[in-house]
Amino acid sequence: MNFKKTLIGVILLFVITSLNAQETKSGKFGKGLFKIVGKDSSWTMKVGLRAQLLGTSTWNEGESGETSFLIRRSRLKFDGFAYSPKLKYKIELGLSNRDQSGASSFTSNSPRYILDAVLMWNFHQNFVLWFGQTKLPGNRERVISSANLQQVDRSLLNSRFTIDRDFGFQLRHHFNLTDKFVVKEIFSLAQGEGRNITTGNIGGYQYTGRVELFPFGTFISKGDYKGSDLKREKTPKLSLAVSYDHNNNAVKNRSNQGSYMYIDNTEADGAKGSFFKTNINTLFIDAMFKYNGFSFMAEYSNRDAKDPYAKNSDGTLTGDEVQVGHGLNLQSGFLLKNDWEISGRYTNIELDKNITGKNPETQYTLGLSKYIAGHSLKVQTDISHLEVSGGSNQLMYRLQFDIHF
């Protein structure tokens, strides 16, 4: 707690000092608290703050309901350029307990405050090199910011298969096949064990490639990575993409996510213990379509492993398994003229039961959103019905308020 107070104090001291020493500009609501510009215009910094306040009620079949309230997300964001507009940066800190959860010996037993800390260098024409910790180019739904989601939160597909954030570098490039047809490519090399890891690389490295096709041209305001068609595209826009991720000698049961696979009776918090290692591959195929307030997103994922059963050095099973299987997520919405939106989602998850022991899951979600100032100020609610084959079903209702400066 003392470290947290010190961190926030340092940030506030830096902001106050910068305000006194530099020129500042305050923009439109939702575009940042303020923007700092160096007197010689050699650097800029935009400061943003956002929060999501969530209430959830769940009813499991045959059981009484439960209700909870929490600050789902609360984040402080800094971005701009340094020295040259060709060298950009982004830093995002998580302030809520959910944002910081996951402390372990692998993170020096410290809360995981840092979400993003990345430099982006446009070193030649359409080539941009990223270096630092940020989201990997995996499934589209994960890369869409939680500030710009169409429904209260992401789908079960994302929670089961995402590759989320990691530390490494990404090479990004785009080119035009025709006047309208745009192609974007991304290659990533990462450490392979998730964000805020301080113990170094235990397994191998993680390699991710992604290709995106825009046959009708790019979306307005990067709408291919925003939920809902708030810009009401005047002409049909479509993005088709495929990502393939190879985590070499992975030591976690969901590629760079999930739990470490310990072997030979290693203590659960022993960062320097022994681990089971296997190659894990994850495939993502997704699409985004928008036109005149209508939006449709589809995602398919598939994960396999060279050896899904974690084994001790003598060949006996440890009881851990790689979470292999596949999932499908379909989501659509229509934005009315008064900025109310109705949305629906279908998600099906089928992990390999012979390996994981988990039954197939199907979830249906109906959502309603009111955009007061776009994604910057909105109220969202949804109701979901989860069906588990051979298990108990669940009904979930959520209400969330978003405010983003």
Q: How far is CA 44 from CA 7, 78, 88, 132, 202, in A?
A: 22, 10, 9, 19, 37
Task: In whole angstroms, give the CA distance from residue 60 to residue 389.
Answer: 14
The model's confidence at residue 124, banded by pLDDT at 50, 70 and 90, is: very high
The model's confidence at residue 3, banded by pLDDT at 50, 70 and 90, is: low
Mean pLDDT of 76-84: 97
Task: In whole angstroms, give the CA distance from residue 330 to residue 318.
Answer: 36
Q: Tell whether the model's pLDDT for residue 129 goes beyond 80.
A: yes
Choose between 14 and 196: higher pLDDT. Answer: 196
Element (H, E) at 402: strand 394-404
Check if the beta carbon of residue 348 is closer than 8 Å to that of residue 359: no
User: Tokens standing for 32?
Assistant: 């940042």
Task: In whole angstroms, give the CA distance from residue 139 to residue 184.
Answer: 15
Measuring CA to CA, which residue among 8, 49, 11, 52 is closest to residue 29?
A: 49
Confirm whether pTM is higher than 0.95.
Answer: no
Q: Name the most confidently modeled range: 18-22, 89-93, 109-113.
A: 89-93
Q: Where are the domains of the chain?
A: 48-74+96-404
Choose between 8 and 243: higher pLDDT. Answer: 243
Q: Tell whether the model's pLDDT for residue 234 goes beyond 90.
A: yes
Looking at residue 331, its pLDDT comes to: 98
Q: Tell whether the model's pLDDT for residue 272 goes beyond 80.
A: no
Looking at residue 20, its pLDDT comes to: 54
How would DSSP label each residue in 189-205? EE-SS-TT--S--SS--
Looking at residue 22, its pLDDT comes to: 58
Q: Tell whether the model's pLDDT for residue 248 goes beyond 90.
A: yes
Looking at domain 48-74+96-404, what is its CATH homologous superfamily?
Porin (2.40.160.10)
How would DSSP label each residue in 268-315? TT-TTS-B--EEEEEEEEEEEEEETTEEEEEEEEEEEES--EEE-TTS
User: Phi/psi of residue 104, each to 5°?
Assistant: -160, 180
3-state secondary structure of 105: helix
Q: Tell whether the model's pLDDT for residue 120 goes beyond 60.
A: yes
Give 359-363's long-range contacts (Cβ < 8 A, gap of 24+): 359/388, 359/389, 359/390, 359/391, 360/388, 360/389, 361/156, 361/386, 361/387, 361/388, 361/389, 362/386, 362/387, 363/155, 363/156, 363/387
The model's confidence at residue 31, banded by pLDDT at 50, 70 and 90, is: confident
Q: Tell whether the model's pLDDT for residue 11 goes beyond 70.
A: no
Mean pLDDT of 240-260: 97
* Predicted confidence (pLDDT) per residue in 274-315, tens digit: 999 999 999 999 999 999 999 999 999 999 999 999 999 999
Least confident range from 61-65, 230-234, 238-242, 264-268: namely 264-268
